[in-house]
């Protein structure tokens, strides 16, 4: 249960377990870096969150989304937008996390002109307009997703202890001195 909650919203699994400080830390770090990536991957004209989208189709396999989905609920609007686009319905919120318009091998849009999403930018336009910020946004959102995998593991199995507890050794030494 805690692992599922940790996936759903970073830190929620720890909050459920009563580990409030770690919950806050995970939420601030992971959601913060994810939100920064969403902000970098867009602008007021194109819409925000353009680097987070679900697209597994002939013209593109968006593999970074596999990492981005690790953030959980904040990455799920991309699935909703992809479903709407594949069903021919207009995407929400000005294209927030919407997949780019599909293109053929010549770079022409494959959607019919009367399609509700024909005006959505192509991947070429996104890369041209956002330039390096598209890659930075992809990086930040991917890192957020991968960090949440660590947080999920922590919620499910507890912290990975690197340093053995020293307190257990001290009573043994005192016992030896008492005996001697």
Residues near another protein (CB under 8 A) are 19, 21-22, 25-26, 29-30, 32-33, 36, 132, 136, 139-140, 143-144, 147, 150-151, 153-154, 159-162
* Minimum CB distance to another protein smaller for 32 or for 107: 32
Cross-strand pairs, 56: 61
Separation CA 21–CA 166 (nearest Å)? 24
CB 75 within 8 A of CB 145: yes
CB of 42 to another protein, least distance (A): 16
CB of 12 to another protein, least distance (A): 15
* Minimum CB distance to another protein smaller for 112 or for 160: 160
Which stretches of the chain are DSSP H helices?
Answer: 2-8, 12-17, 20-26, 32-40, 64-68, 77-86, 123-130, 132-157, 169-179
CB of 3 to another protein, least distance (A): 13
* Minimum CB distance to another protein smaller for 54 or for 140: 140
How long is the chain? 180
């Amino acid at each position: 249960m805690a692992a599922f909650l940790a996936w759903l919203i970073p830190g929620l699994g720890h909050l459920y377990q009563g580990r409030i400080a770690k919950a806050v830390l995970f939420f601030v770090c992971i959601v913060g870096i994810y939100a920064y990536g969403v902000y970098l991957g867009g602008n007021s004209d194109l819409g925000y969150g353009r680097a987070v989208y679900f697209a597994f189709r002939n013209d593109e396999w968006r593999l970074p989304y596999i990492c981005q989905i690790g953030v959980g609920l904040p990455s799920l609007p991309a699935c909703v937008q992809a479903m709407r686009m594949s069903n021919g319905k207009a995407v929400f919120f000005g294209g927030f996390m919407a997949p780019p318009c599909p293109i053929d091998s010549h770079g022409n849009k494959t959607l019919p002109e009367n399609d509700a999403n024909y005006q959505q930018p192509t991947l070429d336009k996104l890369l041209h307009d956002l330039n390096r910020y598209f890659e930075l946004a992809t990086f930040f959102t991917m890192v957020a997703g991968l960090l949440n995998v660590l947080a999920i593991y922590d919620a499910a199995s507890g912290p990975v202890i690197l340093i053995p507890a020293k307190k257990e050794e001290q009573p043994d030494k005192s016992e030896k001195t008492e005996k001697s």
